[in-house]
Amino acid sequence: MARKRLDLTFPPRQSLKPIIYHLVKDYDLVPNILRAQIHPAQEGRMVLEVTGTREDYAAGVAFLEEQGLTVNEAASDIVLDDAQCVDCGLCSAVCKPGALTLDPVTQTLRFDKDKCVYCEACVIACPRRAITLRF
């Protein structure tokens, strides 16, 4: 089984097609959409995690590329360097899913990776550059 995180860019003409439906129906892949910004007739972007056999994964990616999508493997991990972090909390202000929060009592930073959707808002918000992506 393969489990990969993909960063898809949709060309404007493909933004209304049910592409993810085909990944499930025709390639037996299990998609988990982490974030998506799709508007009619505009370039769209989607980050999703897909699970399936290696063969189905390869065929599914080939299908996406045939449809004119740009497919990039997205970050596989996000790392907080405690030695660089000063607990300023600025990342918590941009973390919409609530993965980065401050302890109500100590006001130190807590990172719940299960809630992270890899939007990367914290990566550019952190003034210490303490949050990095691993590919």
Partner 1 sequence: MAKTWQEINERIASGAAVVFTAEEFAVLAAEEGVSAAAKKVDVVTTGTFGPMCSSGVVLNFGHSDPPIRMTELTLNDVPAYGGLAAVDTYLGVTETSRVRGIEYGGAHVIEDLLRGRAVRLRAASPGTDCYPRTEIDTWVTLEELNQAYFFNPRNAYQNYAVAVNTSDRVLHTYLGTLLPRLGNATYCSAGALSPLLNDPTYRTLGVGSRIFVAGAPGYVAWEGTQHNPHGDRDAHGVPVRPAGTLAVIADLKQASPEYFSAATFTGYGVSSFVGIGVPIPVLDDDIAATLALTDADITATIYDYSVQRRSRPSLGTASYADLRSGTIEIDGRKVPTGPISSLPKARAIATELKRWITDGRFALAEPVQLLPQVGSPGTRPLEIRTGEAI
CA distance 14 to 30: 21
Contact 4, 57 (CB under 8 A): yes
Q: Residue 18 half-sphere exposure, CB side, CA atoms within 13 Å?
A: 5
Tokens of 29: 């892949």
CA distance 115 to 123: 15
Q: Which is nearer to partner 1, 62 or 124 (CB)?
A: 124
Residue selected from 2, 24, 102, 117 as contacting partner 1 according to rule CB under 8 A: 102
Regarding 78 and contact with partner 1 (CB under 8 A), the answer is no
Tokens of 135: 């590919």
Regarding 9 and contact with partner 1 (CB under 8 A), the answer is no
Q: How far is the CB of 85 from partner 1 (least distance, A)?
A: 9
Regarding 106 and contact with partner 1 (CB under 8 A), the answer is yes
Residue selected from 88, 119, 120, 132 as contacting partner 1 according to rule CB under 8 A: 88
Residue selected from 7, 43, 63, 89 as contacting partner 1 according to rule CB under 8 A: 89
- The Cβ of residue 130 has, within 10 Å, a number of other Cβ atoms equal to 19
Residues within the interface to partner 1 (CB under 8 A):
86-94, 101-102, 104, 106-108, 121, 124-125, 127-129
